[in-house]
Every structure is written in C-alpha cells, then in structure tokens.
Amino acid sequence: MVDVIMPRLSDTMKEGAIATWHKKPGDEIKKGDVLADIETDKATMDLEAFDNGVLEQILVQPGETVLIGTVVATIRKAGETASATPRVAVAPTTIPEPAVAAVSAAVQAAATQVQVASTPVGAASSGRVKASPLARNLASTYQLDLHAIAGSGPGGRILRDDVEGAHHKGNGYAIAAPETSVVAVNAAVQSVVTQVQAIASTPSGDEVEIITPTMMQTTVARRLTESKQQVPHFYVSTEVDMTEAVKLREQLNSKLGEGGVKISFNDLVVKASAIALERIPEANTWYKDGKFYRNKRVNVGFAVDVPNGLVVPVIRDANIKGVRSLAKEAKALIEKARSGKLRPEDYQGGTFSISNLGMFNVTQFQAVINPPESAILAVGAIIEKPVVVNHEIAVRHRMSLTLSADHRVLYGATVARFLGQLQTLLENPFELLG
Amino acid sequence: MTTLTYRQVLHDTLAQEMTRDERVFLMGEEIGVFEGSYKVTKGLLEQFGAKRVKDTPIAEEGFVGAAVGAAMLGLRPVVELMTINFSIVALDMILNHAAKIYYMFGGQTPVPMVIRTPGGGGQQLAATHSQNLEVFFSHIPGLKVVAPATPYDARGLLRSAIRDDDPVLFLENLGVYDVKGEVPDEDFDNDYTIPIGVADIKRNGTDVTLITYSRMVHTALEVAEQLQHEGISCEVVDLRSLRPLDMPTILQSVRKTNRAVIFEHDWRSYGIGAEIAAAIQEEAFDYLDAPVLRVAAAEVPLPYSKPMELAAMPSGEQLVSAIRKTVSKRW
C-alpha cells in the first residue's frame, strides 16, 4: 500500500486543500496520472500519482484543508489485497507521545518547563536541522533557534544568508532561556518603541534625549517584534459581568484576619483563566516549527509593570491552587518583581499570560503574545455601566476581556469557547473557590 | 620589471645560483650537450663546464643516489628528472634516503639537494608519461615539495630550494614552461627569495576560495575573471608549496569566503585536495557554509587520444560548474 501525501508545492506552503478528486476509489492509477487538484496558498496545482496501482481510499474530502505530509489517499499496488480496515487521514503534526513525555520530564526535572530552547523539546521532537556549520555558528552567536529558520540551501539546508536574514528581520526563535520572560503591556512597549524610533530617525540630540534601552527593554522590543512579525495574531473580545465577582471579593476580603492577603480582581482573573485553560486544553497549546505542543500544566503569567520595563512572573499550576494561596503567591511575586529580585524560575515556564490594565482605568486593549505561548488575555477596568438585565436597564460592573491568539494553533471557535468559559467562571465566581 | 618565460627564469636562476655558490651543480639526462629536454639548461654546459653540468646515463636511481651522496658530502646538487614519471625509478633514493638520512643519522648530515622535474598531462604522451605524482612526495616527511605557477614564484622558490638544507622536490609542469610573467629587473632586485611553505593569494575575492597550484593556477584565474561578470567573486590561493602546506593562509581565506573549491591537476582521491579539504573541516568547520568541493583529474590512466586525454584532465568548465554549485543555493 502506498500513501499519497499532501505535497509541499511551494516554499511558503504549510497546508493544502483538495479541490477536486479526479479519481475515485477502485480506479486504475498510472504513475503520472493527475489524482486531484490541490489548492495551496498561491495556486491550484495537480497532485500526480508516483506509483501504479488502484486507488484504494480517499482520506481527505474535497474542501478539506490538511497539513503538508498528511496522507490524503492510498494506492494499492499490484498483488496487494484490499485493506480490511478503512484508514483515516493522519496529520503529521500530531504531537508525538515521546515529545510530550520529554516535555513533562523536563518540567518535573527543571521546573522551568516548556521554554522552547532551554529544554530538550526542540531536539527531541523537531528532528535534525540541516544547517551549514557556519549557519549553526551564526545562529548561536545571534541566539537564534535554527528550527525557526527556513533553509534556502540544497535540500533545505540553512545557510549563512538565511540566518543573517532572520537576524536582520528579527525572525527566528530567540533562545530564550536566560532572558527575562516579558509580555506586552501596550503602554510600556509603546514607550520603548517610541524611544527606539526616536533613535532611528533622529541623528542628533538637539530635540530629543537619546536613551539606550536597558537589556530588559531591548529584549521586550526584540521579542515582541518577533512575535508580531511571526505569530499571526487575531483578537476576540467579550465583556463580562463582574457584579457577582465584586460582591464575592468584598466578602472574602472583609473577613480577612490580621496579616491576611487581600484577593485582587487580577487574582480572580488568573484563577478563572487557569480553570478555563484546564477545560479547553487547546488554548494551552503552542505552535512551533510545524508542531503543536500541548502543555500538561497550567502556568499563568501576569504582566507586572516594573521600573524601566515589565516582567511576567508565573504562577505554576494555577488551576489547582486555591484563590487565597494564589493571591498570596501573586503578591509575593509582585513584590519580588518590583524590587528586582525575581529569579528565572519565577518568570520562566509560563503557558499563558495575562495583561491587566484595569488599575489604569483602561477599558479595552489588545496585547501582544509572549512567545512561545499562543495566547494572552488583555483585561480592562471594571466599570459600572447600564446594561439590559432581564429586559430592564440595570447598572452593572462590567469588564472587557480581549484574547490575542496565535492563529496557527488556535482558531476563532476555540477562542470563543475559552472566553465563554472565562465569562461563566467570572460571572459565577463561587466556582473559582472550588 | 621584465617579462620572461618560466623556462627562461629557471635557466637564469640556475645560472645565478651556480655563479653565487660554487657547490651548486647540475645533473640529469641530456641536460648538457642536448641542453635539456625542455631547454632549461641551454648554454649552461658551455658557461660552467662539464664538471658542474653533468650528463648522466639513463639510470635515475643511480644519479639521484649520487646526488644524495654528493649532498651529504657538502655539495648542492640540482638534479633534473626528465619527467616526474621517471622519479618512480628513483623512488627508493628519494623517499628512503634523501628524505630520511638526516633523521636516521641523528642530524649528523643534512641532504641539501633539489630535484627539478616536470609533470602533468596534455601532451599526448600516454599513461606512463603524463602523471602528476606530487602527492607521492608530499606524503613523505623529510621532503619539501614546491610547485610554483609563475615565473616570479619559480625564481624565488628555486633560489630557496637550492639554498635549503633539506631535499626539495621542485615541481614544474609541461604546461607552464611558456607562461610569461613579470620578474624584477636584474640590476636592483636580483636576489629575492620566496620562503618555502608560504602560499600566495593570486586574486582577492569574497564568495569562494579556489585553492590550487602550478599550472591550474592559470586556469583558476581565468575562471575567476569569467565568473566575476556573473557576480561571483573568487579568491584564488596559489599554494606554491605542497609540503609544508600553508594552512594558515588557506584557512584565513576560507574563513573569509566560507566556501572552498580545490582545483588540482592530479587524480582526485587520496590527493592534495583531499588533504586540504580534511584540514579545512578540522580547522574551519564553523566557517563553512557549503561542503568543500574538489575538481581533479578523472581516475583513469591518462589516455593517449587527444580528445580523451582532454576529457580526463580537469578543466575550467568543471571548475566553473563546481563553483556555481558551491555558491548556488540549489544543487
């Protein structure tokens, strides 16, 4: 039995759709016969048979889009008997078990979890990268991950030009291990970007003060540029009713004993996100180099504004932590962040991030994804406004949520379901205490 | 500067060295009365007399051995082997005696001798008379091997070879005797030497390093010129010395261009090019953006038939295609 796979028909092609099948199961196939028309990102092209035989099964129906390498049909060669069990189309990007095991092992061992290049994940799951020795050396100098760079050389080998190109364009995964994990609070990023632009366009210091960004600011600028350039962001917004959450929080905090930690709205959002991520694991999955990596843990990072930058400390296993202990941990992390005492294990290994500008009375905004995560939640201020409740106008506490998501791994409906879960949880906040 | 042929420069340099140092004498078949098969020794018998320009019998092992003895006893023989193919007859003298005596007798006596000999095909001399055996000699510790490509280098290296206390194989090529080139005028700079073991960058470039020597240098330079019009910038490294090899110059160039093609007249396998390719990957691995390629002769006894002989020898076309391959992104 010969597998007919979705071929790679152009450099940029990642997936293709079967437009039309020209053969049906049982048809005699000769090498070179056009089996189907394939729609790629650029054009419709012929899918030719590479073997003689009989078309056994069609696994991908017209209109279906599948990744390159997916088996779309099978051909039975002369002398073979018909297959008893029908097969299904198998996408090559399904995350292999050993890779997941490697991820969890790394998580357990290092507690720094799925930081792309700092764990054996890339090596274990993405296979060998073809690169010239020079390209490897340059990638190491520029701290770029070769897995994220397309090779233009013979057989896809990555050459110097490819690495230089990725370096200049800011493509390629940064090898992030020792760097501060940072995320977008648009205001802060904007200020860094503005400074950088000022430096770029103003050669003399007469009208501007030229400020050299700190390492953290440089990292923010580079990583978020990479994120916006490489990750296809899309945004889904909703508004949730926080009236019950406001009441619950008041109740919880009013009964605090001496020295108790107050629960913030952010803590509630962190907890709600963690539960939602547990329920919609697709949203806790990231994409790299043609593969999906589904996190087995829920580690929620939240952006903290610190002098000259921002950091994203991470609350590990936020889904299984109680709100009070979560709040206590968050408070400690914020204090550490503000006093510059965060350790790498405090900010590495996040699987999802939250950026909350509610305290600045921002009502709605969009955040930039913190790679390699696939989503970031932008949380606005809780404001009282008139809404229709039970056919009557009522004043309620409303809060906007906008999820920025990586469209390579997350789709609109998934994000909508995720936001729906968040909404349900925040509007019925007693669920968060479970 | 004066423009002279390679042949003329060898002649003049031999005469100068014989004048400069009376220990220098010449030996070889037909170098005296007949003035040399390639006329390098034209007039030297008349000028220096039969004591210093010795015609020998057709007995390479004998007269190379005699040269080894003469060198051990303080003279500086310059032996002409009519072609490198005849060196095989004298191989025991060259690799067992000339090369090893200094080591085997505890440095008691050096063997300061030069063996001049042309190699290479393309003259329709058939398989046994058209060989490039330089790798045989370059393989032997104790021998120095030089293979200059230009009149300028031939003069500087012949002087160094004659003045060197070690045995030196001075490789000529049937294809370079008529090559013309500039050498300094006799009056004000007649005593320059070129150190053995120092390569020369004959052309600067940025995209690929062509490593070559002797006759192939000229083809490589033509190819480099031709490819310049296509926007491919070739750096041409002329080895000049095959032992010792000037790896620092080679490596410096490869680290600059990140690509290398080795172009040699010799057979491909186990050759000079193989040695250099291996050394490059040992020393400059992190600088390579493409595999090191070799262009060399077909691995056959060289045919007599002219078209077949040409087909078997490495050509500029093959070099062009290797260069295009190495700089191309799609093979």
3-state helix, strand, coil in chain A (%, to 5): 35, 25, 40
- Say if the ipTM goes beyond 0.85: no
Element (DSSP H or E) covering residue A422: helix A412-427
Tens of pLDDT, residues A317-369: 999 999 989 999 999 999 888 887 887 788 888 999 999 998 888 999 999 99
Instruction: Check whether A111 has a pLDDT greater than 50.
Output: no
Which has more confidence, A8 or B234? B234
Residues in chain A: 434
Rounded to a whole number of angstroms, the distance from the CA of A193 to the nearest CA of chain B is 35
What the block records as the tokens of B321 is: 């295609």
Per-residue pLDDT, B188:
53
- A159 and B287 in contact by Cβ < 8 A? no
CA A124 – CA A53 distance, rounded (Å): 37
Number of other residues whose CB lies within 10 A of the CB of residue A259: 5
Tokens for B18, please give them.
């014989």
Contact B13, B44 (CB under 8 A): no
In chain A, the residue whose alpha carbon lies closest to the alpha carbon of B254 is A134
Does residue A137 sit at the B interface (CB-CB below 8 Å)? yes
- Helix then strand then coil, in percent of chain B rounded to 5, is 40, 20, 40
Answer whether 0.80 is exceeded by the pTM. Answer: no
The segments of chain B whose pLDDT lies below 50 read none
- Residue of A407 and A103 predicted with greater confidence: A407
- Report pLDDT for A48: 85
Q: Please, which residues 244-263 of chain B have a Cβ atom closer than 8 Å to chain A?
A: 258
Whether the CB of A361 is below 8 Å from some CB of chain B: the reply is no
Give residue-wise pLDDT tens across range A355-385: 999 888 899 999 999 888 999 999 999 999 9
Smallest CA–CA distance, residue A134 to chain B, in Å, is 4
Contact A153 B290 (CB under 8 A): yes
- Within 8 A by CB and 6+ apart from B266, the residues are B132, B134, B135, B272, B273, B296, B297
Lowest-confidence range among A20-34, A118-132, A380-394? A118-132
The closest of A131, A156, A126 to A11, measured between CA atoms, is A156
Alpha-carbon distance A117 to nearest alpha carbon in chain B (angstroms):
21
Q: Cα separations (Å) of B90 from A100, B41, B125?
A: 69, 21, 20
Q: Is B188 on the interface with A (CB under 8 A)?
A: no
Q: Which residues pair with A352 in a beta bridge?
A: A300
Flag whether residue A132 sits within 8 Å of chain B, measured between CB atoms. Answer: yes
By the 8 A CB rule, do B84 and B138 touch?
no
- The predicted pLDDT at position B14 comes to 96
Taking the alpha carbons of A208, A211, A212, A217 in that order, is the dihedral positive or negative? negative
Beta-carbon pairs below 8 A across chains A and B:
33
Task: Name the closest residue on chain B to residue A163, using Cα atoms.
Answer: B289
Who among A154, A160, A161 is closest to B331 (CB)? A154
| Placement of tokens 């949520």 in the chain | A401
- Residue A206 has what pLDDT? 66
Among the partner-chain residues B288, B330, B331, the one whose CB lies closest to the CB of A133 is B288
pLDDT at position A49: 85
The lowest-confidence range among A91-105, A234-248, A295-309, B301-315 is A91-105
Residues of chain B with Cβ-Cβ distance to A136 below 8 Å are: 286
The CA distance from B326 to the nearest CA of chain A, in Å, is: 10
Asked if B282 has any chain A CB less than 8 Å from its own CB, the reply is no
Rounded-to-integer distance, Cα B307 and Cα B287, Å = 39
**What's the mean pLDDT when you consider all of chain A?**
79
CB contact under 8 A, A134 and B289: yes
Chain A residues in contact with B290 by the CB 8 A cut-off are: 132, 153, 159
- CA angle A206/A207/A208 to nearest 5° reads 100
Q: Do A137 and B329 touch (CB under 8 A)?
A: no
Kindly state whether B330 is in contact with chain A, defined as any CB-CB distance less than 8 angstroms: yes
The pLDDT of residue A80:
78
What is the mean pLDDT of the segment spanning A269-292? 91
Whether residues A134 and B258 touch (CB distance < 8 A) is answered with yes
**3-state class of B169 per DSSP?**
strand
Instruction: Based on the residue annotation, tell me whether B60 is a catalytic residue of this protein.
Output: yes
C-beta neighbour count of B97 within 10 angstroms: 20
Hey, is the C-beta of A165 within 8 angstroms of any chain B C-beta?
A: no
pLDDT at A86 (0 to 100): 62
B57 exposure class (CB count in 10 Å sphere: 0-12, 13-18, 19+): exposed
Among A392, A425, A35, A17, smallest CA distance to A240 is for A425
Q: Is the CB of B287 less than 8 angstroms away from the CB of A135?
A: no
- What per-residue confidence (pLDDT) applies to A52? 85
pLDDT digits (tens, 9 = 90+) for A146-197: 888 888 888 888 999 889 888 887 655 554 433 334 443 444 444 444 455 5
pLDDT above 70 as % of chain A: 78
How far away is chain B from the Cα of A142, in angstroms, using its nearest Cα? 14
Of A219 and B240, more confident: B240
Q: Residue A107's pLDDT is what?
A: 38
Which residue in B has a C-alpha nearest to residue A135's C-alpha?
B289
Interface of B with A in 287-316 (CB under 8 A): 287-290
